[in-house]
Amino acid sequence: MTNRKDLDTMTPAEIVEELDKYIISQDKAKRAVAIALRSRIRRKKLPDDIRDEVSPKNIIMIGPTGVGKTEIARRLSKLSGAPFIKVEATKFTEVGYVGRDVESMVRDLMSVAVSMVKSELAENVREAAERNTEEHILDLLLPGVGKQENTEQAGKESSRNVIVVDDRGQAARESAVGDAASGGESTTRDKFRKMLRDGKLDSREIDVSISQRGPKGIELFAGGNMEDMQNALNSLGSIFGSKKKKKHVTVKQARQIILDEEMEKLIDTDSASDIARERVEQMGIIFIDEIDKVTSGSRGGGSGPDISREGVQRDILPIVEGSKVSTKYGIIDTSHILFIAAGAFHISKPSDLIPELQGRFPIRVELEDLTSADFCRILTEPENAITRQYVELLRTEDVELVFTEGAIQRLGSIAAEVNSRTENIGARRLQTIMELLLDEVSFTASDLSGQTVTVTSEYVDERLAGIVMNQDLSRYIL
């Protein structure tokens, strides 16, 4: 994918070209998100007096499951390097009902952004953290030997002895301090350092103290579930300092544990939070799936549970319009977060949304059903094509898997046929078909080592034709 630093120079056509590497068809939807992303880049170049007046071009994508709605939003966030979170509208309930409140989507987005920023900052301090980690492990391996041996001690033979493991794994007793007369002879700590760097001590077990840190700050909110309440209680405990517990692990495991702690110490948490907050407010993307399930027309009635459904829309409205949401990292302004909503709208329609919410999603795009030709392209063209995944998986067993053009065409037509006769689940149908097709090969792959398995149209018919023809059976298996 294109680096984030190049995004400012990318045109909408180039953004679509990047999305084409992973998503087949749906040109209208890709054009819409490319324009929305480019508009954000243009907004950053505006003078301060007008920049805040430009609102994001929120999008509603309409189409059945499995046609690429979520994948378009996810790839867009990766392309832009923006904080991204996908939420299900059905998980939220109106304030006063049991369930998650809608503000939790912003808090979750902020947590994602903080993790992203910390990962980026961690690379800047990795070298220093690795040095500290090495010294820490040496202290654990040699608890009686100091980090520095001064010149006064260097001229004397120490009475303190330690156990040293040589290259062949043999243990021998050596003096902790070398003789000054030997000049360049390494100290015990240096010998251990070399063995540690060479990986010769990786299997040795040591005790490390692990800090049980909770997130800084407290988040108070209404309507949260038990998990949210548990996180709040953990945050409360973090005010009084972190607890430490001992854990018996190998040196290899200890290296990663201590490295993570050292990088956490070296990262400026306040600076990371400030960068993340700015990134969320200016470039954040929230994908709200199943938006059609909270419309008043989703169940064909106007009472009972639908009251809560409309309440969810009214709770979402101020978040989309722009409001201040309190998180443990500070106040987040949602005015310029990009919202992408999606739904099948089989029973309901976008006009069933409350008028105020409809007005906050100015761009509406209808995604097309996938055809047999689309399925054939999905099987081969994307960089993460499903056939390529199976080829690489079986290659680990030294089995070469080859798909003929005829097999690809037959798989595409079977997927389209089954989708038309049963529930249309879009490209997800290919997953079930491929699993059934390669079930025997996957099971016996260890016995086929060194062989080439060619999947032809005849092989596809042999494995799938009977189930495809039997409509009742295909409903349960495919």
Tens of pLDDT along 158-167?
Answer: 444 444 444 4
Please tell me whether residues 290 and 380 are part of one structural domain: no
Tens of pLDDT along 67-101?
Answer: 989 889 888 888 888 899 999 888 886 555 555 68
Instruction: Report percent pLDDT > 90 for the chain.
Output: 38
Tens of pLDDT along 108-162?
Answer: 999 999 999 988 888 888 888 888 888 888 888 887 655 444 434 444 444 444 4
Q: Measured between alpha carbons, how far is 281 from 302 in angstroms, rounded to an integer?
A: 36
Please tell me whether residues 104 and 56 are part of one structural domain: yes
CATH of the domain at 108: 3.40.50.300
Q: Which residue has the higher pLDDT, 268 or 95?
A: 268
Please tell me whether residues 357 and 279 are part of one structural domain: yes
281, 332 Cβ separation under 8 angstroms:
yes
Band the pLDDT of 339: cuts 50, 70, 90: very high
pLDDT of residue 62: 93
Give a yes or no: residue 447 inside a domain.
Answer: yes
Task: Inform me whether the pLDDT recorded for 440 exceeds 50.
Answer: yes
Helix axes of 405-421 and 428-437: crossing angle, nearest 10 degrees: 120
Task: Inform me whether the pLDDT recorded for 287 exceeds 80.
Answer: yes
What mean pLDDT is predicted for residues 18-33?
92
Band the pLDDT of 210: cuts 50, 70, 90: confident
Please tell me whether residues 35 and 97 are part of one structural domain: yes
Residues 6+ apart with CB under 8 A from 372: 412, 413, 415, 416
Please tell me whether residues 409 and 322 are part of one structural domain: no
Please tell me whether residues 361 and 385 are part of one structural domain: no
249, 196 Cβ separation under 8 angstroms:
no
Helix axes of 188-197 and 104-141: crossing angle, nearest 10 degrees: 130
pLDDT of residue 351: 87
Domain count, the chain: 2
Kindly report which listed range (175-184, 241-250, 300-309, 326-335) carries the lowest average pLDDT score.
175-184
Give a yes or no: residue 222 inside a domain.
Answer: no
Q: Which residue has the higher pLDDT, 242 or 137?
A: 137
Tens of pLDDT along 450-470?
Answer: 999 999 999 999 988 777 766
pLDDT of residue 175: 44
Give a yes or no: residue 202 inside a domain.
Answer: no
Helix axes of 269-283 and 104-141: crossing angle, nearest 10 degrees: 150
| DSSP-assigned beta bridge partners for residue 365 | 61
**Domain interval for residue 25:** 4-115+272-366
Q: Which residue has the higher pLDDT, 241 or 258?
A: 258
Please tell me whether residues 407 and 307 are part of one structural domain: no
Residues 6+ apart with CB under 8 A from 471: 421, 422
pLDDT of residue 20: 92
Q: Which of residues 332, 366, 400 is at a domain's end?
A: 366
Give a yes or no: residue 453 inside a domain.
Answer: yes
Give a yes or no: residue 330 inside a domain.
Answer: yes
Q: What is the arrangement of strands in the sheet containing 285-289, beginning at the earlier edge strand?
A: 84-88, 285-289, 338-343, 59-62, 363-366
Report the candidate in 354, 347, 357 with the shortest Cα–Cα distance to residue 300: 347
Give a yes or no: residue 383 inside a domain.
Answer: yes
pLDDT of residue 1: 43
Tens of pLDDT along 385-395?
Answer: 999 999 999 99
